[in-house]
Structure 1
Amino acid sequence: MMSEPHLSDQRAFDRALDDLLALDPRLVPLVDLAGRPTLRRRPPGFAGLAAVVVAQQLSVASARAIHGRLESTLGGAPSVEAMLAATPEALRAAGLSAPKIRTLTGIARALAEGAVDLDAVARMEADAAAETLTRLPGVGLWTADIYLLFCLGRADAFPHGDLALQVALGEAFDLPGRATPQGLRAVAEDWRPLRGVAAHLLWAYYGARRTRQGAPA
């Protein structure tokens, strides 16, 4: 089995995508419709994890606006120290909901206390790393996998609970409806160690179909 590549930049992603398409030619028609996806990257560490939490259940535009206000409030990219020093009132004024304030301050406190070592997480196998991240307050497997994929460039991280991925797989493989999380995870086993590359492609396919149908991507 090939080793998990590091998605350090677009060139590395494009090489990994070529390997994925050779591994599973059923995915070639998705590229034909959606084009070659752009690698999504965010900074590693608390700053990147905070960005993932902020973006949960928000549109891209709303997430960017709130994250920008959060950076202004904290005096730069979110850090553990700045988050713990910020008042709930200041965080609410930046646009964070009460649950997200609890999650971000809880994560910052746990990291400060050494409950999880993000540097050690970066060296773990993808599934083990995701499980470790879920020890942090308010971090589920979806958030953990998104962090591994976007912030660490882990090519095999795969958020099988993502609704858009479930819908995209159902449409791409002509299923009667969207795939279940378990079904998506089972199909994705064929894509190891490039499941995260497949996720990028499925997201691009999902967006392209909705653009073509006249609906928001």
Structure 2
Amino acid sequence: MPQQFTSATYHSICDQLAAIDADFANVISTYGYPPMWSRPNTFETLVHIILEQQVSLASALSALNKMRERVPELTPARILLLTDTEFRECYFSRQKTAYTRYLAEAILSGQINLEAFEKMEDSEIRSQLCALKGIGNWTVDVYLMFVLQRTDILPLGDLAIVNAIKRLKGLPKETSKEELAIIGEQWQPYRTVASMLLWHYYLSSPKAKP
């Protein structure tokens, strides 16, 4: 069974990371433990993550809520009944409309089985999801971290994570993602929880906000 963290182990893992990284210890002592952000393993959740690609979280949630008003129970079959105009009225771009439809079709055809993902290895899940148009590594990272609570994901495609590491470690702006990945190796096998600490720092520290 793939390794996961739970609400029962979350603070303990935070403490283990604080013991090996004084910067994390400082984050916890200053801002407290990070929330254990989680989402249900549903089609709606993946649509939400697609909406979050390259836009603000508030903008993505606004579009999702508008869609919920139109389709109270967001399922693949119901989504596929919507016209381009109806998607547009829910603030979906042309691209994200297409991505949502591709996902719905993949689930209905059995190409993607979200329930089966719960017992599959991260690499196989990534392979299956990235085969769908509009889903890349960032989307898969968020799904693995927030939905399946997999323990060892460091999403260096996420700008907030990149900026948080640089700020927390006092690194120059030009520090490469390869260098950041090397820094992150010390947090294995709990890089997901390290990421939660980084997001918490980014959201809590006035200096870390854009």
TM-score, normalisation: structure 2:
0.88
Asked if 2 retains the 8 angstrom alpha-carbon contact of 1:16 and 1:194, the reply is: yes
Pairs aligned (count): 209
The DSSP-based 3-state class of the residue aligned with 1:138 is: coil
Give the letter aligned to residue 46 of structure 2: L
Asked if 1:117 corresponds to 2:113, the answer is yes
Any residues of structure 2 matched to 1:9-158 within 5 Å, and which? 9=7, 11-76=8-73, 78-158=74-154
Structure 1: where are the runs of 5+ without partners? none
Asked if 1 retains the 8 angstrom alpha-carbon contact of 2:112 and 2:128, the reply is: yes
Asked if 2 retains the 8 angstrom alpha-carbon contact of 1:73 and 1:91, the reply is: no
Q: State the 1:140 CA deviation.
A: 0.4
Asked if 2 retains the 8 angstrom alpha-carbon contact of 1:168 and 1:178, the reply is: no
Separation in 2, partners of 1:4, 1:191: 15
TM-score, normalisation: structure 1:
0.85
Separation in 2, partners of 1:26, 1:46: 37
Name 1:205's counterpart in structure 2. Answer: 201
1:145-173 deviations in Å (ceiling 9; x for gaps): 10111122222233121111111111111
Separation in 2, partners of 1:48, 1:156: 21
Asked if 2 retains the 8 angstrom alpha-carbon contact of 1:131 and 1:141, the reply is: no
Give the letter aligned to residue 52 of structure 1: I
Give the letter aligned to residue 63 of structure 1: A
1:67-110 deviations in Å (ceiling 9; x for gaps): 1111122222x211111122221111111111110111111112
Structure-2 change in CA distance of 1:178 and 1:169 (3 Å): farther
Asked if 2 retains the 8 angstrom alpha-carbon contact of 1:127 and 1:157, the reply is: no
Give the letter aligned to residue 201 of structure 2: Y
| Overall identity of the aligned pairs, in % | 30
Asked if 2 retains the 8 angstrom alpha-carbon contact of 1:34 and 1:205, the reply is: yes
Asked if 2 retains the 8 angstrom alpha-carbon contact of 1:84 and 1:105, the reply is: yes
Asked if 1 retains the 8 angstrom alpha-carbon contact of 2:4 and 2:148, the reply is: no
Structure 2: where are the runs of 5+ without partners? none
Structure-2 change in CA distance of 1:176 and 1:197 (3 Å): same
Work out which of the residue numbers 154, 160, 165 in structure 2 matches 1:164: 160
Q: State the 1:26 CA deviation.
A: 4.1
Separation in 2, partners of 1:179, 1:103: 33
1:10-67 deviations in Å (ceiling 9; x for gaps): x442232123223434421232343311111111131211111112223232222211
Structure-2 change in CA distance of 1:184 and 1:121 (3 Å): farther
The DSSP-based 3-state class of the residue aligned with 2:92 is: coil
Asked if 1:181 corresponds to 2:177, the answer is yes
Give the letter aligned to residue 80 of structure 1: P
Asked if 2 retains the 8 angstrom alpha-carbon contact of 1:47 and 1:79, the reply is: yes
